[in-house]
Amino acid sequence: MTDQHQTGMSIFDLLSRRWDLGAPIKSIAFSGDGSTVAFLLENGKLALMPCEDAESPDVRTNLDIETGRTTIRPRTAPPVSPRYPDVTAAPCSDIHGYRGFGFILTNSDGAVVEVTPAGQVLPVVSLGQSDNTVISASATTKQAAIAQGQQITQIGPEGEISVIEATGNGAVTAIALSSDGSHLATHQDDRLGIRNLQDPTGRSEYLDIPGKASLIVWESGNKRLVCALDNKTLAIADRRNGQVQIQPGFAANVRSAFFSTASNALLASGAFRLAGWSLDDLPGEGTAGTALTSGKPALVLVEAIAHHPSRPFCAAGFTSGMLNICLVGKPDEMPLHMGTGAAVTTLEWSGDGKHLAAGFADGSVALVAFPKQMFK
């Protein structure tokens, strides 16, 4: 697409806006309207950047009519500086898109707050300080759920607040709203609890999943879920038959996983290449399922992944800092960033698939925009 030898710049240089935020990046979220991206740092600071770019790759792309060759010229001005809201996140908090255009997190005082793209910090609910607070939120359904110890606080689309007590003795370690906002899943005391939020009786169903879950992911349609456990395994739960398959063999704990309709696949980090299985044949009792070979194997671990919201490819970030985009189920991959030794800690696609945000262990971040003709 561009003559890198002539410009002296890599494709990553040409497509991305980059900043050094000074501390390792913990999590990333895009606002529901796609206007803003938020980077949460390990030191609790939050940095906001607009997605709109006056010098986007589309603006800088040129097609030579005679040769048919496409080139991208370098930027002429540095990107705008980040905005830092006056908030410090609690050590246990992540950042999530919330209510269409903003973000939600738990601050260092134990209050759940909403942060607007302009950097305003608005109170949502005060829960008190805790080392065991986990949040799930949806920018599309305008809902949120916060678990603190054994107490779960639900926030509805109109801001209505309700509190329920999780059954069990231990703290809830992971929580996830389904994509349509109709169900809530939690992991506590070696079992997965699933509550239908539209059932007035408030009854829950339970599946035994030994271990401590750090992540719960729903499949579209709410029939299956996966839990990433702290013993380098992935639990695949099927609500239709009540079966749970514990999938071992990961080289590290799974930090990110996705059900992808576009790729018809379940994908996960934690191996030396993108791990995945066909949704038509997931691992189950007595069967290994149909494993998918995506991209090329590496000598370093896949630390973070993010699947494109509508196309059959996935971004994979490695502990070396390498960042690739691969076609799921195919060996084809596009090296995006060769890496400088600082691990990719987190990845996130915008809802429209136009931007990929990456955070690194050295505190650097990148917001990559792809020209329209790049993924035809």
Residue-wise pLDDT tens digits, 64-106: 777 768 788 999 999 999 999 999 999 999 999 998 889 999 9
pLDDT at 279: 97
Closest by Cα among 324, 340, 320 to 332: 324
Which of 282, 351, 359 has the alpha carbon at shortest distance from 317? 359
Of 254, 319, 267, nearest to 293 (Cα)?
267
pLDDT of residue 376: 60
Report whether pLDDT(342) > 50.
Answer: yes
Q: What is the pLDDT of residue 24?
A: 98
pLDDT in tens, 99-128: 888 999 999 999 999 999 999 999 999 988
Whether 309 shows a pLDDT value over 70: the answer reads yes
For residues 146-157, one letter each, b for 16 or more C-beta atoms within 10 angstroms of the residue's C-beta and e for the rest, the string is bbbbbbbbbbee
Beta bridge partners of 244: 237
What confidence score (pLDDT) does residue 372 get? 77
pLDDT of amino acid 30: 97
* Strands ordered across the beta sheet of 121-126: 96-98, 102-106, 111-115, 121-126
Least reliable range by pLDDT among 201-205, 225-229, 320-324: 201-205
> Does the pLDDT at position 55 exceed 60?
yes
| Per-residue pLDDT at 169 | 82
Mean pLDDT of 265-280: 97
| Rounded-to-integer distance, Cα 143 and Cα 353, Å | 22
The C-alpha atoms of residue 214 and residue 182 are separated, in whole angstroms, by: 21
Q: Torsion over CA of 252, 253, 255 and 257, rounded to 10 degrees?
A: 90
Average of pLDDT values for 293-311? Answer: 94
Q: What is the pLDDT of residue 284?
A: 84
How far is the CA of 242 from the CAs of 29, 55, 267, 278, 374, in angstroms? Answer: 32, 52, 21, 20, 43
User: Does 247 or 132 have the greater pLDDT score?
Assistant: 247
Q: Which residue has the higher pLDDT, 21 or 142?
A: 21
pLDDT score of 4 more than 50 = no
Question: One-letter amino acid identity for 322?
Answer: M
d(CA 93, CA 112): 10
pLDDT greater than 70 at residue 219? yes
Q: Give the closest residue to 303 by CA, choosing from 91, 95, 24.
A: 24
pLDDT at position 238: 96
Task: Please tell me the distance from the alpha carbon of residue 65 to that of residue 203, in angstroms, as a whole number.
Answer: 65
Residues whose CB is less than 8 angstroms from the CB of residue 358 and which lie 6 or more positions away in sequence, other chains included: 28, 315, 317, 323, 337, 344, 346, 347, 365, 366, 368
DSSP string, 6-17: HHT--HHHHHEE
164, 207, 226 from 247: Cα distances, Å: 32, 16, 10
Q: Are 119 and 85 in contact (CB under 8 A)?
A: yes
How is residue 273 written in tokens? Answer: 């290449």
| Integer Cα distance of 163 and 176 in angstroms | 16
∠ CA 259-261-267, nearest 5°, is 30
> For position 7, what pLDDT does the model report?
55
Residue 296 has pLDDT above 80, yes or no: yes
Query: How long is the chain?
Result: 376
The mean pLDDT value of the chain amounts to 92
Tell me the per-residue pLDDT of 138-156, one tens digit each, with 9 for 90 and over.
Answer: 888 889 999 998 899 999 9
The token duo for 334 is 């596009």
